[in-house]
A and B are shown apart, each in its own frame.
Chain A
């Protein structure tokens, strides 16, 4: 019973920005939004996380709405290697039970 809702699949053209949405309308004030991705058959890979403010790192940007009920992961210039399943997870920082949902399967096309 993941606390997030994500579209099952999305396509993106190579070189364009990929915007992956996530709804978490029941998020609590002390819950963070985490993003991981899983490239075929590999272990998940951490991308980014945030609480309230927008965050950016070398891999992606995370935009969290002001009411915190949804967020968007942005891959600014998608490459074929970004084809993966992307998981949006909400959890309290010190809660070790990280619940993965079904995620969004992003396909980057040439």
Chain B
């Protein structure tokens, strides 16, 4: 199906483990984004990418690593998960920076 998908939808891990959240879009959008949303709060930008092999930090990048080897994929890695990274993670994409962003369904991550 066309659109933006995230996997897994739910993940439980332990402190110190490495976790990778996947994001895939079928529109060939240039821009892709990762946000986190803590309980009861708005979204905060972690990283974004303007094109393959181009990434940049957002508001809260510490503890996260991203890569973008292909236009359609934008994985987010927590190299050593901490409890403070328990959150819902949303991926988004758009054609150009001034356009509307299309969001995925989210991944609910719990770090024990």
**Chain A residues engaging chain B, CB cutoff 8 angstroms:** 2, 32, 34, 41-46, 49, 87, 93-103
24 cross-chain CB contacts under 8 A:
A32-B98, A34-B100, A41-B106, A42-B103, A43-B103, A43-B104, A44-B90, A44-B92, A46-B100, A46-B101, A46-B102, A49-B100, A87-B42, A93-B97, A93-B98, A94-B98, A96-B48, A96-B97, A97-B45, A99-B44, A99-B45, A100-B43, A101-B42, A103-B42
* Chain A residues, Cβ within 8 Å of B31: 96
Closest 3 CB pairs of A and B: A43-B103, A100-B42, A46-B100
A24 to chain B, nearest CB (A): 15
Q: Of A43, A46, A96, which is within 8 A of B106 by CB? A: A43
Q: Of residues A2, A46, A96, which shows the largest number of chain B Cβ atoms within 10 Å of its Cβ? A: A96
Bitwise, B39-82 to A at CB < 8 A (1) or not (0) is: 00111110010100000101100000000000000000000000
Whether the pair B103, A45 counts as a contact (CB closer than 8 A) is yes
Instruction: List the interface of chain B (C-beta within 8 A of A).
Output: 31, 33, 35, 41-45, 48, 50, 56, 58-59, 88, 90, 92, 97-98, 100-106
Contact call B98/A43, Cβ cutoff below 8 A: no
**Is A99 within 8 A of B33, CB to CB?**
no
Q: Which listed residue (B59, B92, B103) contacts A99, Cβ 8 A? A: B59
- Given A93-B97, A96-B50, are A44 and B43 also a contact pair (CB < 8 Å)? yes
The chain B residue sitting closest to A89, CB to CB, is B42
Q: Is B42's CB under 8 angstroms from A97's CB?
A: no
Task: Give every chain A residue within 8 A of B102 (Cβ-Cβ).
Answer: 46
Contacts of B98 in A (CB 8 A): 32, 93-94
User: A100 contacts which chain B residues (CB < 8 A)?
Assistant: 35, 42-44
Residues in chain A near residue B88, CB distance under 8 A? 41
A65 to chain B, nearest CB (A): 22
Chain A hits for B92, CB < 8 A? 43-44
A97–B50 CA distance with the chains assembled, in angstroms: 12
B59 touches which of A34, A97, A103 (Cβ 8 Å): A97
Q: Would A94 and B43 count as touching, CB distance under 8 A?
A: no
Decide: A95 and B97 in contact? CB cutoff 8 A: yes
